[in-house]
Amino acid sequence: GKPAMKNLIVNGLVLAADGKKMSKRLKNYPDPTLVINKYGADALRMYLINSPVVRAEELKFREEGVLGVVKEVFLPWYNAFRFFLQNVERWEGGTRKFSPSVDKVKTTTNPTDIWISAATQELIKFVHDEMAAYRLYTVMPALVKYVTQLTNWYVRLNRDRLKGLEGDDADAEAEMGLQVLYDVLLDVTIIMGPFTPFIT
């Protein structure tokens, strides 16, 4: 006959930080409900996806690892989104309305716009390829690298431009930068949906 399955996913054991089996009697692990309430279910999910447990290996659970996901991914991602919202509000100024346009994004000639758009498409392809191959653990490092590029490079290099303080036609430059930032933030939100369903 026919095989019972095409793919089989085996998870490893999640152990306490001391390497012993988690035990209610010994209380050698943090209460999962408290961890979720403190950091969020998405942070816990990303921590586990990035761990050896998805490669059928053991994981010594450390709450600091969940905090690391918040610091390395969620806070910078959120700050980029907040920066975007603040500057859209400034750009609109009560007299005009920001309207996202992929067509405008495609016409940009700014090298950093082109670079971050290409990096976003590269991330999307990478995530699709890795998920198709069941290599979930490779997604988190790629996401951390991308978020660093977005926040530490794209947003920083374009801060004045996005605030409407740069170029001969500062308003048009600001709008173009905001269009690109919206586009990449939307793409990342969509691609991260399966990994972070509550945030996205």
Q: Coil, strand or helix: which one is 146? A: helix
pTM (predicted TM-score): 0.89
CA 188-77-92 angle, 5° bins: 85
Question: How far does Cα 133 stand from its chain's mean position?
Answer: 20
pLDDT in 10s for each residue of the chain, 200 residues: 888 888 877 888 888 888 888 888 888 888 999 999 999 999 999 999 888 888 888 889 999 999 999 999 999 999 999 999 999 999 998 789 999 999 999 999 999 999 999 999 999 999 999 999 888 889 889 998 999 999 999 999 999 999 999 878 899 999 999 999 999 999 999 999 988 999 98
Question: Which residues are registered as beta bridge partners of 60?
Answer: 15
Burial 30-69 (b: 16+ CB within 10 A, else e): beeeebbeebbebbbbbbbbbbebbeeeebebebebbebb
CA dihedral 157, 125, 129, 68 (to 10 degrees): 20
Give the pLDDT score at 63.
92
CA atoms of 49 and 43, how far apart (whole Å): 10
